[in-house]
Amino acid sequence: MAGGAWKVAYADFVTAMMALFMVLWISSQNQKILIATSQYFQNPFRSPMDATSGVLPFNSNQTTHSEGRESGSEKEASRDRQIKMTFLNTVAADFTRLLNLDQNLEDKPIDIQITSDGLRITLFDRANRPLFKNDSVEFTEWGQFIMKSLAWMVDRHHFRVTIDGHTRAPTGPPGPDDRGWELSAARANASRRLLVYYAVEPGLIDRVTGYASTKPLPGESLHAEANQRVTLSLALAAKGRFKDSTLVESPMTAAAPAPVAAPPSARPHALP
């Protein structure tokens, strides 16, 4: 090659060889490094081992203060917790983006929290964005879209599901016509039916419960609209399944489901 053009070609060759050696080195590492590297390339704008990254930070003070005194097994458990929490943060962030939610709203339709076991997702039945039609157990179009998106996420990551239905207390004195127990249980069960209809294996549903108005939100009165809700607790399944789903594919690599309403025969109906 004339002049210094050969230097450019040689630099490209050296760069390609370095990339090859890096790939070969990463491939020879243990499972945790592979998971961390995979999560980094899923979202390169935050570190996969940063315990405070994501939409819902968690408290890791207990693991950082004694890091120098931790044994090998304790460090292993600490890394596992960090990987698990980072994975849950990623799933929560992806689900928020999928629904195009603004988490800064005061009366937000969905609340997502990260727990020690998985995710707790609360769906509010608000007047400005109802989850159900009137006082029935039939989902609105918005409610069907949420349940389909949830079913896709549960099936994808093989979460185990617990569903709790809640209602607000009636404004008048409680009487024989109070349908809180029936309505909360029926709405929780309607959520289960729709999840199973769309994607979720029936065996992944652990419990369906109706609490009526006995468990209001902290700081809310028994009559507050926010108590009209369905809460889904999503727990991670076996450890091996979690590692595989984290390593193999990012939650955002699959196409998101389109909001399609269930046919009339599959929709739950109001209790008589």
Q: What is the pTM of this model?
A: 0.63
Please indicate whether residue 132 or residue 257 has the higher confidence score (pLDDT): 132
Do 10 and 121 sit in the same domain of this protein?
Answer: no
State the pLDDT at residue 49.
42
Do 154 and 20 sit in the same domain of this protein?
Answer: no
State the pLDDT at residue 267.
41
65 belongs to a structural domain: no
Do 114 and 238 sit in the same domain of this protein?
Answer: yes
pLDDT category at 59 given cuts 50, 70, 90 is very low
> In percent, how much of the chain has pLDDT > 90?
40
62 belongs to a structural domain: no
Read off the pLDDT of residues 15-33 as tens digits, 9 standing for 90 and up.
999 988 888 888 787 776 7
86 belongs to a structural domain: no
Do 131 and 25 sit in the same domain of this protein?
Answer: no
Read off the pLDDT of residues 168-177 as tens digits, 9 standing for 90 and up.
998 766 655 5
CATH number at residue 183: 3.30.1330.60
Read off the pLDDT of residues 134-168 as tens digits, 9 standing for 90 and up.
889 999 999 999 999 999 999 999 999 999 999 99
In the predicted structure, residue 53 carries a pLDDT above the cut 60: no
142 belongs to a structural domain: yes
Tokens representing 118?
């998985």
pLDDT (mean) for 27-50: 63
CA dist., res. 230 & res. 130, Å (int):
12
How many domains does the chain divide into?
A: 2
Q: Which of 46-55, 204-213, 250-259 has the highest mean pLDDT?
A: 204-213
CA dist., res. 227 & res. 211, Å (int):
11
pLDDT category at 257 given cuts 50, 70, 90 is very low
Do 32 and 135 sit in the same domain of this protein?
Answer: no
30 belongs to a structural domain: yes
Do 144 and 16 sit in the same domain of this protein?
Answer: no
In the predicted structure, residue 94 carries a pLDDT above the cut 60: yes
59 belongs to a structural domain: no
Do 37 and 101 sit in the same domain of this protein?
Answer: no
Provide the mean pLDDT of the chain: 77
139 belongs to a structural domain: yes
Print the domain residue range for 253. 97-266
In the predicted structure, residue 47 carries a pLDDT above the cut 50: no
Taking the CB of residue 91, how many other CB atoms lie within 10 A of it? 25
Please indicate whether residue 67 or residue 206 has the higher confidence score (pLDDT): 206
Whether the CB-CB separation of 230 and 123 falls below 8 Å is answered with yes
202 belongs to a structural domain: yes
